[in-house]
Amino acid sequence: MKIKLISHASVIFTTEDCRIWTDPWLFGKAFNDSWSLDPPPAWDPSWLNDITLLWISHEHPDHFHIPTLKSLPAEFKGRVKLLYQQNNSDKMWEAFRRFGFQNFQSLPHRKLSQVTKQTEVYCHQIGNMDSMLAVRDGSLTVLNVNDCEINTSDCRRVIHDLHRVDVVLNQFSLAGSTGSPDHVHVLKRVADNILKIMIENHKDLGAKVTIPIASFMYFSCTDNRHINDSANRISDVYRHFNENGLETAILYPGDQYIGGEPWNSQAALEHFEKDSKQEEQRQYSEPVIVRLEEIASALKKTSERLHDRYTALVVRRLKPVMAFLPDLNKTIRFSVANGKLEEVASGTEADITVNSQPLLFAFSSSFGIQTLGVSGRYFIHRNHTNWRRHRILFAMDNAEIFLRPKYLFSRKNIRFLIERFPGAWNQMRYKLARMGI
């Protein structure tokens, strides 16, 4: 099997009888225009002619990159088969159809699926959104962990299902911010922990080689550029694996790794080192200023949506939040529970600091609060528990896990919750432990 790095989380797997392209992101930005590709993609449009399968791991826009998917030729969309995880929602399938794709295969959780005569794939869903993909062609099993946060229990399940994993593709750096004002220390600690988890995943899966992917980007707004100072470099990954006596294959966009053959990472490392000396040339966007009236309107609609999908008792658990908007030099109090926003006296102690446009985006869709964290465009100063409740409810809303009986007790939801409960419970315990809860 051959593995060609295109960009970020986008790779092409070539087996004896198919080519699988993953998570295409070829241009533009992601996460409310807050992430940019670095280095740029290696791409030749003629490669589309040989691709037979397209896998989208999950709906985060650095994986489900709508501008890239829309830009692909109609002939390609009519011919290629699109693979996506089987879950409780049809919204992604509906989006793929709107973009012009015509052929689909739903991948069940933790089961091998035959996609061609000689190639099998395996989808393993993590949390309420992410998924991993294993590709097996008889001689080699490759697991694309992507940016799933997996632990020893998850790896044990994977090995139970696949029996062996030869090559692991794994995220290697920061994918957001906790919002801590002490970001210098907190983010560096998170980045170091990512390297530790990569080592643990490699060992738990019994892999021969790890290929770092899914972090070939930078935070590209003036209000999140501070995160770049704590990000892991590809050289950190290489050194960390060497120190632990483990093998890694460093690929630069355009490089192709052939499974089972020796790989020399030096050329790629030198290329990345050359890029690092040009980082001062990176482009950063200034925040767009929006009016409070726009934010208030979006907040009201969000409140109405949540009240329709959840009981008042659940929504009222979200207490008002005090937010300082530096670009407007105003402090506001907003309440998702009652849909109201009001300006308060200057100097009032704030729970969070955030510019006006990211806050508007947070209320403009069910994934807005998640995007605020992933884009890293806010700081949280106090009342962390209340903010965590906001994040949890918005994540449930985006996953279409609605708690009103008319939504919750659908046949599809019940089947999904029963099937996913063991893995979901494991992930919940794992993430709470990482947060020290």
Q: Which of 233, 254, 281 is the last residue of a domain?
A: 281
Token pair of 62 as six digits: 């650095």
Q: How confident is the model at residue 436 (pLDDT cuts 50, 70, 90)?
A: very low
Closest CA to 69 of 45, 89, 95: 95
Q: What angle do CA 153, 154, 160 make, to 5 degrees?
A: 90
In this prediction, residue 419 carries a pLDDT of 66
Each residue's pLDDT tens digit, 88-142:
889 999 999 999 999 999 999 999 999 999 999 999 999 888 999 999 998 899 9
CA–CA gap between residue 236 and residue 277 (Å, rounded): 16
CA–CA gap between residue 233 and residue 241 (Å, rounded): 13
Residue 128 · residue 399 · CB < 8 Å? yes
Q: For residue 428, is pLDDT > 60? A: no
Asked if residue 343 and residue 307 are part of one domain, the reply reads yes
Residue 359 lies in a domain: yes
Token pair of 132 as six digits: 């991993």
Each residue's pLDDT tens digit, 234-254:
999 999 999 999 999 999 999
CA–CA gap between residue 388 and residue 376 (Å, rounded): 15
**For residue 59, what are the contacts with CB-CB under 8 A and spacing of at least 6?**
92, 129, 367
Percent of the chain residues past pLDDT 90, beyond the cut: 88
Asked if residue 204 and residue 330 are part of one domain, the reply reads no
Asked if residue 331 and residue 241 are part of one domain, the reply reads no
Each residue's pLDDT tens digit, 161-219:
999 999 999 999 999 998 999 988 999 999 999 999 999 999 999 999 999 999 999 99
- Here the CATH number for the domain that contains residue 124 is 3.60.15.10
Asked if residue 193 and residue 147 are part of one domain, the reply reads yes
Closest CA to 215 of 243, 241, 199, 195: 195
Q: Which of 246, 281, 316 is the last residue of a domain?
A: 281
Residue 42 lies in a domain: yes
CA–CA gap between residue 323 and residue 401 (Å, rounded): 28
- Here the CATH number for the domain that contains residue 393 is 3.30.1050.10
CA–CA gap between residue 213 and residue 204 (Å, rounded): 19
Helices (H), 206-344: 234-243, 266-276, 292-309, 312-315
pTM for the model: 0.92
Residue 361 structural domain: 292-403
Asked if residue 208 and residue 260 are part of one domain, the reply reads yes
Q: How many structural domains comprise the chain?
A: 2
Residue 213 · residue 8 · CB < 8 Å? yes
Q: What angle do CA 22, 87, 132 make, to 5 degrees?
A: 35
Token pair of 381 as six digits: 């100063």
